[in-house]
Amino acid sequence: MKKFLAKRLGSGSLAVLFSIIFNFVIIRLAPGDPATLLVGKDNPNPEMIAMIREQYGLDKSMFEQLGAYFNQLFHLDLGYSYANSRDVWDMIVERLGPTLMIALTGTLIAVLIGTFIGVYAARKKGTFIDQAICSISYLFDSTPSFWLGLMLILLFSSILGLFPTSGMYNLRGNYTGFAHIMDVIQHMFLPVLTLVLLNIPYYFRIARSSVLQVMSEDFIMTLRATGMSEKKIFNKYVLRNAIIPTITVFGINLAYMVTGVSMIEITFAWPGMGRLMLDSITKRDYPVISGIYLVLSISVAIGMIIVDIVYATIDPRIRIEE
Amino acid sequence: MHNALEVNNLKKHYIQKKVVKKDGKTTSKQLVKAVDGVSFTLKQGEILGVIGESGCGKSTLGRLLISLEKPTEGDITLNGTDVHALLKQDRLKYRRMSQIIFQNPFDTFDPRHTVKKIMMSVLKLHHIGESEEEQLKICCDTLNEAGLQPAENYLDRYPFELSGGQLQRISILRSMLLNPIFLVADEPISMLDVSIRADIIRMLQQLTKEHNTAMVFISHDIATTRYISDRVAVMYLGKIVEIGTTDDILHSPSHPYTQALISNCASLDPLEERDVIKLEGEPPTPIDTGPGCYFAPRCVHACERCFKEYPDVRTKKNGVKVACFLVNDESGLETEKEV
């Protein structure tokens, strides 16, 4: 186990290292220059551009810049945003919380509901209910997130007036304590609902197909032949085997969660990481982009290690080599 | 004394929805006659080999015999009692009476359970053995007796850590733990290495003899079937075309299909001169079989009558039952209308 952990940590750090270099290089290869963007289009002053370049070290070669960046990281410093004149780390921490709030809540609810419906549909395979659920799931599966978000705003905010259209809390409210929490939950509702509706089909299909697959396995027939009741076979054998793909997919999805909600964040003006990332890309704010990718790649690496460990404990075929 | 198993006019028809026919038209429903009127009896401790080509309904018959599927028609009597009634009355008791061994030992067990868990779950389900220690002892003893020694080495292993032969042995042992009076072996050796097939066959023979268990041995391997079976039934398109003692069927086959089947069986002697009967025509499908003998389109002896009506079952002097008009015409044997 220790050896496995060390091995995975090693390969994980290597992956993080490569992703830092890759992201660092690729964003600089993209057309566009932060200095010109900072100065503005109307009256570009060449001297000022050169000054900014020198100040941020953009005039040096890419190799030197990379070296400087690693030196910075070594001192646990993610750098300084060009566009916002703030510490990158502070900006990320500020945005990470709100993103995780809607991403985690939405994904968890979607996993639970999706899996539940999937198992139900698998049991009713071929019936009208099954076909109806499948059709609805395809409908939501092919819906763009921003469109669904807008439709929900139209319905719940404009027509019914139940929930606020955007933001994370009421700026004029000045609520504190419990009232503040309720206010945030009210603001969270629509983005989370959008995420849930879009993710349910995903988990629904995995649950449905893996339940059906396990039910068609030979060993289920064997259990029937030994005289076990259908209920026990289903609860004890089918479900436990069918849940493995859901866990895998959930683990992989954790990695994409932050980027996946960015469209929703923009639709609902939610102050999250996804929005920060897109803003920074348009402004060519290199330190912020690199910082975000660093945090993301570390979380992906950790997520994968956790999935591996969970996987090995539920499926003996994937044993961790001693 | 009752027969271990009596099967009377057993049928299983599947309804296939939306089938595209050869001419491009679609029909909304089609009947697939997987098993179409099978009847036979099995004495206690007797072994019946069922042979036939792929898709002739052997495996469906096997699943029907132990009630893993509901027959469309016909009834099965186990030890003098109707199976349907037995199932309704006490499912577990019925399952203790009839068991099955599947073809693929790698898929027979839950991949996440150890051998111990697999065997113990059967004992627990059927309340065999009073305490957990006793149940564990039963498991160990069974494994040891079957040559899986030392048993402790096997108990904590997972199915994927064992070979096909070991798994099939465990599959057989687990079925025999319940001491059934009737066992279906659905191609139990076709997935195994040739080198261990004999061992598995010997084990099956020995165990069924010890427990006086009747067995239906489904196979497409004629040589193995001959080795293990007391009687042999030849199936073609869901029907038994010929049934009788192993020697009678294999040495003097009466039905043209059996003759073709056996003539194609490989011999160990390369110098032996034999006339191999080649079957012409398309492989059969159990759909739209028509009124005549199912085998008629491929049969070399087929006459006009064969296409018009299905031959009744005739019993030869040696007890072999054949469904073919020729048997009567050539040898002038007595005819028997009922099955």
Distance CA A5, CA A305 (A): 8
Q: What is the pLDDT of residue B332?
A: 44
* Pair B219, B190: CB distance under 8 Å: yes
Q: Is residue A149 part of a domain?
A: yes
Q: Is residue A36 part of a domain?
A: no
Judged by a CB distance cut-off of 8 A, whether residue A216 touches chain B is no
What is the CATH number for A101? 1.10.3720.10
pLDDT in tens, chain B (339 residues): 678 889 988 888 888 776 666 566 666 677 888 888 889 999 998 999 999 888 788 888 999 998 888 888 888 998 888 888 888 888 888 998 899 999 888 888 888 888 998 899 889 888 888 888 888 888 888 888 888 878 888 888 888 888 888 999 999 999 988 889 999 999 888 888 888 888 899 999 999 998 899 999 999 888 888 889 999 999 988 889 999 999 888 888 888 888 888 887 766 666 666 677 777 776 667 777 777 888 888 888 888 888 888 888 888 888 888 888 877 644 544 444 433
Q: Could you say which residues from 280 to 319 on chain A have a Cβ atom under 8 Å away from some Cβ of chain B?
A: 314-317
Q: What residues contact A23, with CB distance under 8 A and at least 6 apart?
A: A289, A290, A293, A294
* Pair A294, A18: CB distance under 8 Å: no
The 8 Å CB, 24+ separation contacts for B272-277 are: none
| Domain count of the fold of chain A | 1
Distance CA B175, CA B171 (A): 6
Distance CA A15, CA A60 (A): 26
Q: Could you say which residues from 237 to 256 on chain A have a Cβ atom under 8 Å away from some Cβ of chain B?
A: 237, 240-241
Token pair 């064969």 is found at B306
* Pair A119, A207: CB distance under 8 Å: yes
Token pair 């009076």 is found at B181
* Pair B232, B248: CB distance under 8 Å: no
Find chain A residues with C-beta within 8 A of B108's C-beta.
Answer: 218-219, 222
Q: What is the pLDDT of residue B333?
A: 44
Judged by a CB distance cut-off of 8 A, whether residue A218 touches chain B is yes
pLDDT in tens, chain A (322 residues): 677 788 888 888 898 889 888 888 888 887 777 777 777 767 777 777 787 777 777 777 778 888 888 888 887 777 778 777 788 888 888 888 888 888 889 999 999 999 999 999 999 888 899 999 999 999 988 888 889 888 988 898 888 888 887 777 777 777 777 878 888 888 888 999 999 999 999 999 999 999 999 988 888 988 988 888 889 999 888 988 898 888 888 877 876 777 778 888 888 888 888 888 888 888 888 888 888 888 888 888 887 888 888 877 777 776 655 4
Q: Is residue A80 part of a domain?
A: no
Which of B96, B98, B103, B108 is the best substitution to test chain A (most A C-beta atoms within 10 A)? B108
Write the ipTM: 0.80
Distance of CA B181 to the CA centre of its chain: 15
Q: For residue A309, which amino acid is it? A: I
The minimal CB distance from B102 to the residues A218, A228, A241 is found for A218
* Pair A66, A21: CB distance under 8 Å: yes
Judged by a CB distance cut-off of 8 A, whether residue A131 touches chain B is no
Closest chain A C-alpha to B288 CA, distance in angstroms: 26
**Kind plus residue range of the DSSP H or E element containing A307:** helix A286-314
Structure tokens at B78: 């186990």
Would you kindly state where each structural domain of chain B is located, as residue ranges? Answer: 5-20+27-112+179-280
Closest chain B C-alpha to A240 CA, distance in angstroms: 9
Q: Is residue A111 part of a domain?
A: yes
Class of residue B172 by CB neighbours under 10 A (exposed 0-12, middle 13-18, buried 19+): buried
Contact check, Cβ <8 Å, A317/B111: yes
The minimal CB distance from B99 to the residues A223, A225, A237 is found for A225
Distance of CA B186 to the CA centre of its chain: 5
B5-20+27-112+179-280: in CATH 3.40.50.300: yes
Q: What residues contact A185, with CB distance under 8 A and at least 6 apart?
A: none
Q: What is the pLDDT of residue A322?
A: 44
Q: Is residue A6 part of a domain?
A: no
Distance CA A14, CA A19 (A): 9
Q: What is the pLDDT of residue B336?
A: 41
Q: Is residue A178 part of a domain?
A: yes
Contact check, Cβ <8 Å, B111/A224: no
Distance of CA B329 to the CA centre of its chain: 31
Closest chain A C-alpha to B92 CA, distance in angstroms: 5
Domain, as residue range, for A191: 96-267
Q: What is the pLDDT of residue A257?
A: 78
Q: Nearest chain A Cα to B124, which residue?
A: A228
Q: Nearest chain B Cα to A215, which residue?
A: B110
Contact check, Cβ <8 Å, B95/A237: no
